[in-house]
Structure 1
Amino acid sequence: MGLKEKAIEMSEIYRQNPKVEAIILAGSVARKLEDEHSDIELHILWSMPPEDDDRKGPIHRIDGTILSYYPYEEEEWSETYLTKEGIKLEISNFLTETVEKVIFDVVNQYDISYEKQCIVSSVHDGVSLYGREKVNELKDRVVAYPENLAKRMISENLWLSNRWHNREALLKRKDWLMLYDVICEAQRNIFGVLFGLNRMYVHHPAFKWMPNNVDRMSIKPENLYERMANALIGKPEYSVQELEVLIQEVLQLVEHHAPELHIAEQQKRIQYAK
């Protein structure tokens, strides 16, 4: 049995609970990116807060093994468990009204929070397993990527962290752990800008599935994936130089594709190094 088929089978159990309003298959399986390491991600939308019996009942019904089980935090109840076949499921339980509010925050208020965008992305790319009418209603609200969200993603991510200014010092000191932390942070900023330019919701706070993300982009520097990868596995001196060049190319893309944005201050700050 494939992962999608198993997800459908589990959704048949969850949907028997009258509190469940919709079930969305998310993650790599929904996006058809699954491999031998993938698990099943389900978003369960509830009309009222689920009790322990609501959450544990489906697991006990299949004789599953609970790996983690968290109380309500950050507007979500979550748990992970294994089926008898060894398939892992990650369950995110939300009140339907919470998902609706998150969509409003991102689409109408242009909140660039990656945590919120991840939920919006799951709605956008997810597969309805139950409650099709409700899921389609949510999908209709996120289908058009807001222009103002793109502008905020671009502008905010061009403010590279203050630590980027220390790159030369870290390189000379051979302070590798902190340097690579700075390099990764700069790469995340680059992706943040490019996600905005390409009108793509952030689907994972660490920009998982990098090769696929780059393939989906129509606006990007040449050989982006290879250059980003080499910046992580090549010599540190090369990594810093390559990122400096990439950042300049991204700035040129912003000037060409979003000329209405005023990024002079960001450009000035990016040039600084000590």
Structure 2
Amino acid sequence: MLKLYGNERNRADMKCNLAMGGNTMADLQEMADQLARLYAENPKVEGVLLGGSVSRGWQDKYSDIELLVFWKEPPTDTYRKTPIMKSNGTVLDFHPYEDEEWSETYLTNGVKLEISNFLTAAIQRFITKTVDFFDTDPEIQCIAAAVNYGKALEGHELITEMKGRVQNYPDGLRKTMIEENIIFGSRWSNREALLYRKDWLMLYKVMADAETKIMSILFALNRQYIVHPGFKWQRNALDGMSVKPENIIKRMESVFIGNPKDAIRTLEAVIQEVFDLIAQELPDMDLSEAMKQTHQVRPLNENY
């Protein structure tokens, strides 16, 4: 049997409040607050952070609630399941420890909850990798983003200290991010051949990879941590940037919904404009080799 924290009346009140909630934006915020209090009843929990779209005001009718729970020691299955039971939740996924995380997904009152459990020490280590050692791994950088942009629900003193560590985007991370993404690779040089052959699957993968590199560079130019490893919420992220090519949102979207030939030309133009922005922001960075490789196109066989 699960060990419960708090008295019976408190648990009943919490269940009633959760059941009364709807799915409006304000309801998601309120539900997140209530669920955070459930987690905080466990003395092993040191903090609860609201992440994802709800924390940034980007939520829509498909949004769920993403909570990061910080533990002083590894959570048992019982500890993880207790808030689910208290909120009358239905478990969708319940994963064992992997990559320094315990994660579960459940439904409460028709709203999906995605819970990421970490040791507090692991979060501090991820932050160190990002801000002190300039680790560009998007999975790790997303933790820094969640801390920076997220909303503290419990453990305010701890999370405030964490936020202080990630508040200033490091110059070293900015430079490393750009250097790792300015080479668009040999597949990009095959774009005309793929278009000619109508190899759509590979062509669109190449274009998606190009957009991924563009996004990585733009996050760095704007001193913003990558918020999702797959660049979810691209439109919202671009809208919040000040250093970017003109009309970038529509141009990036048109790559996947317009004519493929036009899409390639759009990407070529955007890439050049991104190089221009890099030159303005980091004038000491040598871009000559990167630009040379990016402009290369697989040569035609004139004898064919």
- For normalisation by structure 2, the TM-score amounts to 0.88
1:24 to 31, 36, 49: 49
After the TM superposition, which residues 152-163 of structure 1 pair with which residues of structure 2 at under 5 Å, given as runs? 152-163=176-187
Q: Does the 8 Å contact 2:139/2:229 carry over to 1?
A: yes
Whether 1:15 and 2:40 are equivalent positions in the alignment is yes
**For residues 221 and 63 of structure 1, what CA distance do their matches in structure 2 show?**
48
Q: Percent of counterpart pairs with the same letter?
A: 48
Whether 1:250 and 2:274 are equivalent positions in the alignment is yes
Q: Does the 8 Å contact 2:49/2:69 carry over to 1?
A: yes
Rg bigger for which structure? Answer: 2
Q: Does the 8 Å contact 2:185/2:294 carry over to 1?
A: no
Q: Does the 8 Å contact 1:22/1:130 carry over to 2?
A: yes
Whether 1:68 and 2:93 are equivalent positions in the alignment is yes
Aligned residues: 273
Whether 1:126 and 2:136 are equivalent positions in the alignment is no
Whether 1:34 and 2:59 are equivalent positions in the alignment is yes
**For residues 152 and 14 of structure 1, what CA distance do their matches in structure 2 show?**
38
Aligned to 1:219: 243
Q: Does the 8 Å contact 2:66/2:115 carry over to 1?
A: yes
Instruction: Classify the secondary structure of the residue corresponding to 2:190.
Output: helix
Q: Give 1:266 shift.
A: 1.0
Instruction: Classify the secondary structure of the residue corresponding to 1:72.
Output: coil
Q: Give 1:27 shift.
A: 0.5
1:240 maps to a residue whose letter is I
Q: Give 1:193 shift.
A: 0.7
2:198 to 160, 166, 174: 174
Q: Give 1:162 shift.
A: 2.3
1:4 maps to a residue whose letter is Q
Q: Does the 8 Å contact 1:15/1:130 carry over to 2?
A: yes
Deviates more, 1:259-268 or 1:226-235: 259-268
Q: Give 1:216 shift.
A: 1.2
Name the Cα RMSD after superposition. Answer: 0.8
- For normalisation by structure 1, the TM-score amounts to 0.98
Aligned to 1:206: 230
**For residues 159 and 243 of structure 1, what CA distance do their matches in structure 2 show?**
14
2:105 to 80, 83, 86: 80
1:172 maps to a residue whose letter is Y
Runs of 4+ with >6 A deviation: none
Instruction: Classify the secondary structure of the residue corresponding to 2:97.
Output: strand
1:96 maps to a residue whose letter is T
